[in-house]
Amino acid sequence: MSENVMFWCKMMRKFTLYFSAIFMLFCSIATAQSTRTVEESQLISKAEAAFSSLSSLRAEFIQISADGAISQGIIYLRRPYQLRLDYINPDSLSLITSKRVIYIDDKIGKQVDVYPLSETPFAPILRDEVRFTGPEFTTKARLESGVISIEMSRDTGEGAGRLTLEFNADTGRLMRWIIIDTIGVKTTVSLQNPVYDVGLENKLFGVPSYEPENNN
């Protein structure tokens, strides 16, 4: 951090708690930016630009859980805000997002649970303006074996955990993502046979619901 930033940090501590809180946020951002290398910044910008240019995606996916369990399905993405994951092996679950919430559709139990989208790792990639950096999380980037890895982590609060996005360094296309939750459970989702900028029907992103059962 530069001497000027340090000087203002000391001065601002003399003001009210309100201004102190604002400035401490600035200090944390300045520190994060100063520790990020030029190469990291360039990799993050490249990944952001590539993902921002993506309008829609349909692909098969394979999910590997921490216990080694393998699930398969189809992913539909239409930016901004709209994502659907249909698990077809086993055929029991769909995840569907809207602008503010995510629906967990349990087809076997015929039950739909709703959670704030902000509490999921998908929030940074679904919003209108794709940003892989911000004051609410820490971002790291690296280039290895032709793959750009963008790691976003948050230690506390809503959406705590770690999300790593992996992009093809040549095309900028998303290849896989890795989620590690607050207790260290790791889930890897890899995309296969992706089709980009494809037309997707509105009904794919409709709110799931079930008619109440008639026990009479």
- Residue 115's CATH number: 2.50.20.10
What's the whole-number mean pLDDT along residues 162-184?
90
The answer to whether residue 58 is domain-embedded is: yes
The answer to whether residue 84 is domain-embedded is: yes
Domain count across the chain = 1
Each residue of 82-106: pLDDT tens digit? 999 999 866 688 999 988 899 988 8
For residue 149, the number of C-alpha atoms closer than 13 Å in the C-beta half-sphere is: 13
The answer to whether residue 21 is domain-embedded is: no
Domain residue limits at 75: 38-195
The answer to whether residue 179 is domain-embedded is: yes
Q: How many CB atoms lie within 10 A of CB 111?
A: 11
What's the whole-number mean pLDDT along residues 193-208?
92
Of residues 184 and 121, more confidently modeled? 184
pLDDT of residue 126: 86
pTM: 0.75
Distance CA 50, CA 42 (A): 12
The answer to whether residue 149 is domain-embedded is: yes
- List Cβ neighbours of 51 (8 Å cut-off, separation of 6 or more): 125, 130, 167, 172, 174
The answer to whether residue 207 is domain-embedded is: no
Confidence of residue 137 (pLDDT cuts 50, 70, 90): confident
- The answer on pLDDT for 150 being more than 90 is yes
Report in angstroms the alpha-carbon separations of 147 from 35, 57, 73, 117, 170.
22, 20, 24, 28, 8
Report in angstroms the alpha-carbon separations of 33 from 72, 140, 153, 173.
38, 11, 15, 25
- The answer on pLDDT for 63 being more than 60 is yes
Each residue of 3-41: pLDDT tens digit? 443 333 333 333 333 233 323 333 333 334 447 789 999
Token pair, residue 212, equals 């109440």
Residue 166 · residue 178 · CB < 8 Å: yes
The answer to whether residue 204 is domain-embedded is: no
The answer to whether residue 87 is domain-embedded is: yes
- The answer on pLDDT for 201 being more than 90 is yes
pLDDT of residue 162: 86
